[in-house]
Each structure stands twice: as structure tokens, then as C-alpha cells.
């Protein structure tokens, strides 16, 4: 009976948490706003019942009601997913797939009705008022069953007509105008958000979006082109195609636009284009992978830039530069470049000798033995073999080591576990092995090590997740399989190395929009704020880089604002390193967007002087962010002064005297 009571208490706590998350969703897309708003409002009314069940000390939840509460949990999870999509999902998709969306809505409400109907109040210490409230909610769900609110038929037909067209016509302009106005896709922020929503749907399909989503993306492109044609001075983040071909370190002005210049370090010395897949050759120079492979394939054995002879023709991925490029793209409103799919490229071939291959096979045989000592020594040797030699990484993977090492991640032996996770980390350096490691089901095991392993194993688990997350589709998988909360824990309580490994992994994962909310909900913001203010300041760079990414997400912005970040950010802008001043200003730009409270707070902490200095002496991005803040604060101050002047003029206006009033009477 105690287990039943404990289980019931846990279920109720989860239910309360889920309803609170639903209550925190602030708005919905216009096409589903009414129905989704009413659904969320009804679900909020369940909180008093759940709290009374939780707070009841005397009653044990009956088995039948406990089953109904479990069903309610499943129904609420479905409702939460539905409502989040109604808040963050593609506006175009919500219109064109209206039948599917409404079917899902009715399916969710039916589940909720069924679960609530199964709750018996007998044996539960619930007040009559709360019972009546729940009965009212249940009655509303029953009345809503099968009801379909009127939809905007014209909007649906407009979208459908463009969706099915293969060529453009002059008559489309009026249609595009109606669509952009009704869907509220009139500004660059709205268009970017819609683009991200479609992009996340593509990512959720594993990179195979299907014809319908591809056509929706083409439809969005038509809307975007129309809006930018209608509003040529639209303050849009610059698209990569608009970037100038060379980097002088200054932004180039074109009309009213400031075009961010690609830093020279981010360009391939061969193609002079932004690198998608930067790799290092033996001379230490970095190139775009496809460019250096073409160079080597043409028979060259020297470095194109230095003309030094290459000691090895096997390039190594430059993960640090790839992350910096991704951060720069994020900061400048440019979609991070996608690496070419590895499916069309030839697999790396190992040049290991037959004797070396035989040694690897013997080690793998030991991994499968039941002897812990054999497993421990074999995993340790594989770890060392994969550490420095690229050929070994290929040969070890091709021999079938990856599934065996993944199986050892759950071993209770800490030494075997540590060797296994570190071996996988070393193997993941080889580009071809990344997909094999994820396909072998490694991520849950890596997350297990991240939670339960020794500190060194946890550090290497975080580093492995970073290495795997370089592949875009892996960012989705890793975030979905629960890696973010234990990474936040390691960021909070790890060694200095562990914190840096966790921060690097979190930064890379949060480049994917869908992981930003997960990180915020896992409590990363308070942890980052502690790192910003801790003695020694060894994690300031990493903390600010992650905050700069999270601030662009609504949940991130709200949580950072609530964490009293403004004084800390102002201090960094005043005294920080050039990169940190730039990131602090970027966070502050997001906080002050539409929020006068943070603007006033920044002024009170003396932000104006440091901003003027940053606008004159900062990095290119730092200058732009400082200028944005200065203009925003100046407009706010002007409005305040104008308002105060009007108020003062009204007060000073002569009023009729009492004697004059007496005489008139």
C-alpha cells in the first residue's frame, strides 16, 4: 500500500508540473489561437484538484483513480506537445494540414475526457468547489467533442493555390499580400521564425522532409521574396549570399543595410568561401574538406598555402573552428552552413598492416570474453590505439569494435566503463565513425556514463557528445535522448575540465533551436550566472557564449532576465575581454528588446559609457550590438522626456480662480 501511495504522489507531482508548463505557453499561432487558448485555459483549472490530492495527508489514492491519473498524464503530455506546436510550429503547415491538426486536437480532447471521467472522488479529500470545477471542465470537453470552429477558407485556398503552382504569375502578388498579412509574416523576425519552424520539422524527420514540407519551404521562399520586394528597407539579417567576397574587418554598408563581413579565418584559403567542414592538414593550416581533397586528388603532396610537403594526407576535423563559425552565423542571423552529407562520399580506408589488423581482432575477442580483466586490458589498449592514429580509428571501427564498446558503457566496472567511453571519444574523431557510433545506439549509454560514471568518464562522455553533435542530425537525437540535463549538472559540479567539456557540448547542441528550451528548462541559466560571477572567472568565455545563443529563445530571454543578469552584463561590457564584451552586449540587446524594465536597469548601472566605448573600440559584432543598444536607449529616453514635458506643461497651464468662478455664478 505504501508503494501505491508513493507512486500516486509522484504521478500527481508530474501532472502539476505538466499543467504548469502548459500554463507558461504565452501565445498561439493565429490559425489555432482560439481553440488552443480555450484548451490551455481548461487544463489550468485542473491545478486546484491536483494540489488538493497532493496535499491530502490521510487518503491513499484508490487503484482505479491512480490508473485514471496515469491516463491523464499521457493525455496531458499529448496536449502539451500539441500546444507547443501551436505556439512554435510552422504557420504554413498549420493552415495546409488543418484537417490533420484538428484531428489531433480532437484526439487529445477525447483522451482528456476519458481520463477525467475515470477519476473517482470517493476516498479523495477534495472540496466540493474543486469537484464542481473539474465537472465543469469535463462538461466543456464533452461539448467540444467533434465541434469544428470556422476556418479562414480564403487563406487556405490562397495557400493551396500557390502550393500547387509550378510557375509564378502577376495575379500571385495580391494572393501573397493576403497570405503574408493574415499569417503575420510581414517582418524579418516572423519570416526567420517560420523558416526555423520548417527547418525543425525537417530535422525531426531525420533530414528526409518529404515532398510536402519541401514544397512548404518553397512557398515560404515566395512569401519572403514578396515581403522583401515590398519592403526594400526591411531591417533583415543578411543572408549569406549577400556577404562580400573578402574580409577587411569592417562591415560594408549597402543602402540602409550593414552587411557582416566573413572573417578571413572562417574562409577556405582555396575557395575563399565560408567553410562548412573545416579540416586541418599536417602543416597546421585549415581548409574546406572538399577543397583540400580535390587538391590532394589532383596529385599534389604540398600544403596549398605554405607549399610545405605534407607528412600525412589524412586531414583532421577542426571542431573548434567549426563551432566558432556556427557561433558567428548565429550572432549575425545567418543559418549555420550545413556540412555535405557523408552518404555520397567514399568511406575512409585504413592502411593498417595485416599484423595490426590481427592485433585489433584479438583485442575485440577479449572484449567479448566474460573475464573482467581481459575486458579491462582490451578496452584500455583500444583506447590508446585510437588516440593518435587515424588509420587505427578506421581499422578498429571496421573490425566491429563500436557495438562492443557501446555495450560496455553500462558495465558496473568503473575502469572498463572509463576505457570504453574514452575509446568511443577517440574513434569519433574519424568523421565516418560518428554516424556508426550513433547508429549503434550509443547515446543512451553515453548519457548513462554522464550521469553515473567517474568524473573522468563523465568528462569524456561530455566530450564525446560534443564530437558527435558536430553532425547536425545528431544534435536532434542527442537532445531528444536526454543528454542536456546531465550536461548542465556537469557544468555545475564538474572539475574545470569537466565544466569546459560540458559547456562546449551544450553550446554545440543549442545551435539547434529545439534544444534551447530544453537547456533552459534543465536549469542552465542559473548555472551560467554562477559561472559568470565565480572567483577566478575561468568559465566566463563559455558562459557568455551560451547565454548569447539562449537569449534569442523566448524562454531563454525570460529566464536570463529573471536571473538579474543586467548588472553582471553591464560589468562585462565595461571590463571584459573583447569577445566577452561582444557577447554580453548581444545578450543585453535581446533582453532590452520590447522590455523597458531591463533598459532602465542597464541605464541605472551606468551602461552608456561602456557602450560608447564598445561602439568605438569593440569587435565588429560588438560595435554593431553597442550601436543597436545606444539607439534603442536613446529612443526610450527621448520618449520619456517628451512624456514628462507634456505632463509638466499640463500642470503649469493656468486654471480659473475660485473668485472668477464665483463672479460667473
Q: Given pLDDT bands bounded at 50, 70 and 90, which one contains residue 244?
A: very low
Short-list 439, 359, 373, 450, CA closest to 406: 439
SS (H, E, C) 509-550: HCCCHHHHHHHHHCCHHHHHHHHHHCCCCCCHHHHHHHHHHH
Mean per-residue pLDDT, 14-27: 86
- Measured CA to CA, the distance from residue 447 to residue 477 in angstroms comes to 12
Q: Given pLDDT bands bounded at 50, 70 and 90, which one contains residue 4?
A: very low
Residue 236 phi/psi, 5-degree rounding, is -100, 145
pLDDT at 662 over 70: no
Q: Given pLDDT bands bounded at 50, 70 and 90, which one contains residue 170?
A: low
pTM: 0.51
**pLDDT for 635:** 84
More confident residue, 455 or 127: 455
Q: Given pLDDT bands bounded at 50, 70 and 90, which one contains residue 202?
A: low
pLDDT at 94 over 90: no
More confident residue, 499 or 326: 499
**pLDDT for 383:** 92
More confident residue, 518 or 256: 518
Average pLDDT for the chain: 80
Mean per-residue pLDDT, 3-14: 65
Q: Given pLDDT bands bounded at 50, 70 and 90, which one contains residue 458?
A: very high
Q: The C-alpha cell of 101 is what?
A: 491538426
- Ranked by mean pLDDT, the top range of 265-279, 325-339, 544-558 is 544-558
- Measured CA to CA, the distance from residue 303 to residue 320 in angstroms comes to 21
**pLDDT for 347:** 55
Q: Which of 55-69, 413-427, 453-467, 612-626 has the lowest mean pLDDT?
A: 55-69
pLDDT at 27 over 50: yes
Q: Which of 429-433, 519-523, 569-573 has the lowest mean pLDDT?
A: 429-433
Q: Given pLDDT bands bounded at 50, 70 and 90, which one contains residue 492?
A: very high
Task: Encode pLDDT of 562-583 as tens digits.
Answer: 998 899 999 999 988 888 899 9
Please give the share of the chain, as a percent, with pLDDT higher than 90. 22
Which string of b and e fits 108-118 if b means at least 16 CB within 10 Å?
Answer: bbbbbbebbee
Q: What are the angstrom distances between the C-alpha of 114 and each of 110, 218, 349?
A: 6, 41, 58
**pLDDT for 245:** 39
Amino acid at each position: 500500500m505504501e508503494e501505491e501511495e508513493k507512486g500516486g504522489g509522484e504521478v500527481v507531482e508530474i501532472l502539476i508540473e505538466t499543467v504548469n508548463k502548459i500554463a507558461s505557453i504565452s501565445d498561439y499561432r493565429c490559425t489555432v489561437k482560439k481553440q488552443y487558448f480555450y484548451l490551455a485555459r481548461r487544463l489550468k483549472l485542473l491545478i486546484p484538484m491536483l494540489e488538493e490530492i497532493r496535499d491530502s495527508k490521510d487518503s491513499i489514492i484508490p487503484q482505479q483513480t491512480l490508473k485514471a491519473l496515469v491516463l491523464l498524464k499521457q493525455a496531458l503530455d499529448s496536449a502539451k506537445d500539441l500546444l507547443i506546436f501551436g505556439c512554435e510550429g510552422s504557420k504554413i503547415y498549420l493552415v495546409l494540414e488543418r484537417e490533420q491538426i484538428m484531428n489531433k486536437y480532437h484526439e487529445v480532447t477525447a483522451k482528456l475526457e476519458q481520463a477525467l471521467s475515470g477519476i473517482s472522488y470517493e476516498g479523495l479529500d477534495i472540496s466540493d468547489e474543486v469537484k464542481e470545477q473539474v465537472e465543469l471542465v469535463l462538461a466543456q470537453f464533452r461539448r467540444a467533442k467533434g465541434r469544428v470552429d470556422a476556418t479562414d477558407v480564403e487563406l487556405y485556398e490562397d495557400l493551396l493555390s500557390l502550393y500547387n503552382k509550378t510557375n509564378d504569375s502577376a495575379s500571385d502578388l495580391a494572393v501573397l499580400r493576403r497570405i503574408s498579412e493574415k499569417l503575420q509574416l510581414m517582418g524579418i523576425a516572423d519570416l526567420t521564425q517560420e523558416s526555423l519552424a520548417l527547418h525543425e520539422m525537417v530535422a525531426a524527420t531525420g533530414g528526409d522532409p518529404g515532398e510536402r514540407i519541401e514544397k512548404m519551404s518553397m512557398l515560404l521562399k515566395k512569401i519572403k521574396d514578396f515581403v522583401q520586394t515590398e519592403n526594400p528597407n526591411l531591417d533583415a539579417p543578411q543572408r549569406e549570399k549577400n556577404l562580400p567576397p573578402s574580409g577587411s574587418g569592417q562591415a560594408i554598408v549597402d543602402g540602409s543595410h550593414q552587411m557582416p563581413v566573413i572573417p578571413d579565418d572562417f574562409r577556405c584559403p582555396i575557395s575563399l568561401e565560408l567553410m562548412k567542414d573545416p579540416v586541418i592538414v599536417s602543416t597546421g593550416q585549415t581548409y574546406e574538406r572538399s577543397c583540400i581533397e580535390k587538391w590532394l586528388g589532383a596529385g599534389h603532396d604540398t600544403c596549398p598555402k605554405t607549399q610545405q610537403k605534407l607528412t600525412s594526407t589524412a586531414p583532421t576535423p577542426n571542431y573548434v573552428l567549426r563551432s566558432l563559425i556556427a557561433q558567428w552565423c548565429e550572432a549575425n542571423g545567418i543559418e549555420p552552413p550545413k556540412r555535405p552529407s557523408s552518404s555520397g562520399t567514399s568511406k575512409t580506408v585504413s592502411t593498417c598492416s595485416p599484423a595490426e589488423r590481427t592485433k585489433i581482432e584479438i583485442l575485440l575477442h577479449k572484449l567479448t570474453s566474460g573475464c573482467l580483466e581481459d575486458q579491462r586490458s582490451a578496452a584500455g589498449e583500444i583506447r590508446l590505439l585510437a588516440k593518435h592514429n587515424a588509420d587505427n580509428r578506421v581499422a578498429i571501427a571496421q573490425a566491429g569494435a563500436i557495438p562492443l564498446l557501446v555495450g560496455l558503457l553500462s558495465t558496473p566496472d568503473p575502469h572498463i566503463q572509463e576505457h570504453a567511453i574514452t575509446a568511443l571519444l577517440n574513434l569519433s574523431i574519424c568523421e565516418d565513425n560518428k554516424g556508426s557510433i550513433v547508429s549503434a545506439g550509443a547515446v543512451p549509454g553515453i548519457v548513462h556514463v554522464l550521469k553515473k560514471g567517474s568524473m573522468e568518464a563523465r568528462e569524456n562522455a561530455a566530450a564525446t557528445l560534443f564530437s558527435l553533435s558536430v553532425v547536425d542530425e545528431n544534435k536532434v537525437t542527442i537532445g531528444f535522448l536526454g543528454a542536456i540535463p546531465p550536461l548542465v549538472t556537469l557544468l555545475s559540479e564538474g572539475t574545470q575540465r569537466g565544466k569546459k567539456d560540458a559547456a562546449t557540448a551544450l553550446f554545440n547542441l543549442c545551435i539547434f533551436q529545439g534544444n534551447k528550451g530544453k537547456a533552459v528548462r534543465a536549469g542552465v541559466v542559473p548555472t551560467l550566472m554562477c559561472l559568470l560571477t565565480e572567483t577566478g572567472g575561468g568559465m566566463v568565455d563559455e558562459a557568455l557564449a551560451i547565454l548569447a545563443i539562449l537569449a534569442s529563445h523566448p524562454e531563454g530571454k525570460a529566464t536570463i532576465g529573471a536571473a538579474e543578469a543586467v548588472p553582471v552584463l553591464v560589468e562585462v561590457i565595461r571590463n571584459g575581454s573583447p569577445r566577452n564584451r561582444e557577447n554580453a552586449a548581444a545578450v543585453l540587446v535581446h533582453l532590452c528588446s520590447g522590455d523597458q524594465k531591463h533598459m532602465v536597469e542597464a541605464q541605472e548601472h551606468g551602461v552608456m559609457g561602456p557602450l560608447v566605448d564598445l561602439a568605438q573600440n569593440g569587435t565588429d559584432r560588438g560595435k554593431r550590438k553597442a550601436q543597436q543598444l545606444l539607439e534603442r536607449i536613446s529612443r526610450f529616453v527621448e520618449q520619456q522626456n517628451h512624456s514628462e514635458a507634456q505632463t509638466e506643461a499640463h500642470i503649469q497651464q493656468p486654471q480659473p480662480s475660485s473668485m472668477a468662478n464665483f463672479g460667473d455664478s
